[in-house]
Structure 1
Amino acid sequence: MEIFIQVVLPVFFVFIIGFTVQKWKKIDIKPVSTVAIYIMTPCLVFRTFYSSNLDIQSFYMVIFSIILLMSLIIINKVYAKIMNYNQSMESGMILSTAFMNAGNYGAPIILFAYGEQAFAYAVMFLVLQSIIMNCFGVYYAAKGKAGFGVAVKEVFKMPATYAVVVGLFLKLTSISLPDNLLVTVDIIAEAAIPTVMIILGMQLARIPWGGFEWGKVIYSTVIRLLLSPAIAYGITLLLPMDPLMAKVLIVSAAMPSAATIVMYAVQFDAHPKLVSSVTLVSTIISVITLTLLLIILG
């Protein structure tokens, strides 16, 4: 109960604030989201890569992400084959289960649970997940309507991509920025997480209730909240990871479906109703599953 009160509940309260304000005022999310995507998140990402020590653990994180993604894709393909689903439904289920909300949900949970060092790992993972979503997410959402070129363009539309490049370049060349410039970056970076948390609450408020395909929603929620962290745990046993990073990755793998992926499902008509309903249901149920997982991991 202490973990729920101190870690999960404060994060969920922020989502509720965003949810309530959106229901009340019907705010246009796009301008707020644009500020978060193009200003706040790049500053947070740049600060993380500029100040963090990149070592073999970063390579393990990449390997972890690839194995986890491939495992979830294969599971969905096998299940779709068994259930005799068409390719469109298979893609919809992959979208709703293979991509987790590592950014505006996972990062704050990890910060509250494990502290600043763990948060640095979480930010690296959210950047990695953003790249994966903009490649594989676009591919499965588009499936026949777009191709690899669209995915690549989406990656290069991400301001965070350039923040990673600049941060790594300055890190590797040992070029130091002036302290007053770093203070500016810090101020903006500190605003990133609470802003994207409120945005998630607002996004959830726009998802319509009712008419859910409950069989598919339950399956996808179980995969996302239970099987995904179980696979993640197995992967961390195979790789010689730092114990703290292993916890970060397991918790990140247990996050609900990514709200960002709903936009791709809508844009390419890849069963957006299913994807959005899984995002909503998995986010609500994650209050319980994440609390239990944090208790288990310690």
Structure 2
Amino acid sequence: MSIFLHILFNNVIPISIVISIGIVLQRIFALDIRTLSKLNFYLFSPCIMFELLYTTDLSLQVIGQVLLFFTLFMLLQYGVLEIVVRLRGYQGGMRAAMRNSVLFYNSANYGIPINQLAFAGNTYTLSIQVLIMMMQSLIPNTYGIYSVNAHKANLRQVLMTILSMPTIYVIPLAFIMRGFAIPIPLFLEIPIGYIADAFFGMALFTLGVQLGSMSWKMNRQQVFDVSLSGVLRLVAGPVLAFAVVYMLGLDKMMAAALIVSSAVPTSLSSVLLAVEFDNEKEFSSQTVLVSTMLSMLTVSAVIYFVQ
């Protein structure tokens, strides 16, 4: 119960407040959701990713093990999703929206605080979570963009869009600068820090604006689809993660951190992609909201289990 209450008051309620502000302001002022989306993709997300990778202590062994886990975990998730997508007969943009709602999970503004809660601020588990966040930032900016555009644009257009994403460049830049101990000039370090600090609030606010602009009515099929996404993300995710860490024989601390990292709700990236490329915006927003609310129970259960 204490874990549940901690997640409720320190994660879900603060997140909900920022989302609610976005909903209210959208109802009052009819804000431009596309502008907010572009700010997230081209400014806030690259800055937070660069800052975390540059400042977090990461060993080559940990990097290798986490990347191996992540690759196998994503392949397993994709395999399960492909079965579900084919059985449900999803077409066009809905296929991509369902995949994105499960494959992209909230490893940043939800995953990092949960990691700190579950492992009492352990720097080792934090470095693991930062690597997961790195991959969960890279994949939406590559595969995610491809998936929401593949059914309506040619490959050249999709590749050009992917190559325009700053995040795919700041990740290697951060590793290179850290590896060669290249300092960040103070006149750049300060604004990067300011913008990175704004990332979480802006991403949540953008979700609220999107929720405020959509219809809150769902028919029976939509309820089923959103619920199915939630089950695949919150239940199947940690089960598959457990299977992968067991197969790899990882040490207990790393295994626990990776399982907890896989249990978090759907990422805001799925909404940002849906808004930016006009692809199933309502479904994507609903999956983030519903999975975030349900995660109070499921994440508490996963933390209890790994402890």
| 1:297 counterpart residue number | 306
| 2:10 counterpart residue number | 10
* 1:71 equivalenced with 2:110 (yes/no): no
CA distances 1:134-180 after superposition (whole Å, capped 9, x unpaired): 22222222233235545544444333333322221122223344678
Q: Return the offset for 1:223.
A: 0.6
1:3–1:291 contact (8 Å) kept in structure 2 = yes
Change (3 A) 1:45 1:278: closer
TM superposition score normalised by structure 1? 0.82
Q: Which of 102, 109, 116 is the equivalent residue of 1:111?
A: 116
| 1:211 counterpart residue number | 218
Runs of at least 5 residues in structure 1 that lack an aligned partner in the other structure: none
CA distances 1:30-80 after superposition (whole Å, capped 9, x unpaired): 666666655554443333322322312212222222222222222222233
Change (3 A) 1:149 1:257: farther
Structure-2 separation of matches of 1:185 and 1:271 = 32
1:105–1:255 contact (8 Å) kept in structure 2 = yes
Runs of at least 5 residues in structure 2 that lack an aligned partner in the other structure: none
| 1:59 counterpart residue number | 64
CA distances 1:75-103 after superposition (whole Å, capped 9, x unpaired): 22223333444455433322322221222
1:100–1:255 contact (8 Å) kept in structure 2 = yes
Any idea what SS the aligned residue of 1:102 has?
Answer: coil
Identity of aligned residues (%): 26
| 2:51 counterpart residue number | 47
Q: Which amino acid aligns with 1:163?
A: V
Structure-1 separation of matches of 2:235 and 2:185 = 45
| 1:94 counterpart residue number | 99
Q: Return the offset for 1:230.
A: 0.7
Provide the aligned C-alpha RMSD in A: 3.1
Structure-2 separation of matches of 1:233 and 1:165 = 29
Any idea what SS the aligned residue of 1:231 has?
Answer: helix
| 1:136 counterpart residue number | 143
Any idea what SS the aligned residue of 1:145 has?
Answer: coil
Any idea what SS the aligned residue of 1:103 has?
Answer: coil
1:14–1:194 contact (8 Å) kept in structure 2 = no
Q: Which of 231, 238, 247 is the equivalent residue of 1:238?
A: 247
CA distances 1:269-297 after superposition (whole Å, capped 9, x unpaired): 54444333222221221122112212222
Aligned length: 298
